[in-house]
Amino acid sequence: MDNEPNTPKKQTNNPLHGIKLADIMKQLLEAHGWSGLAKRVNVNCFKNDPSMKSSLKFLRRTPWAREKIEEIYLDLLDE
């Protein structure tokens, strides 16, 4: 009965499945810091008085920025 509408689909090909955006940001901050993220993704929430709360809010509302952050995270995993 995998075709039921309320059954979540498995995402075996998605390496980000099950990883919270906050966890991604924590790892990226450890690796690059706010200035490093600001160089990679030119957004004010990383440059001017950065905070985890404001960054997460922005990334959740801005798909293109979130995609860039996810790409940077996947690159970090590949290293």
pLDDT given at position 26: 97
Q: Which of 18, 20, 72 is nearest to 43 (CA)?
A: 72
Burial 38-49 (b: 16+ CB within 10 A, else e): bebbebebbeee
Number of domains in the chain: 1
37 close to 46: Cβ distance less than 8 angstroms: yes
pLDDT given at position 42: 94
> Is 8 part of any domain?
no
pLDDT given at position 67: 95
CATH number at residue 52: 1.10.720.30
pLDDT given at position 39: 96
Tokens representing residue 54 in the block: 């404001």
pTM, entire model: 0.80
The whole-number mean pLDDT for each consecutive block of 10 residues of the chain, a chain of 79 residues, reads 54 81 96 96 94 96 96 91
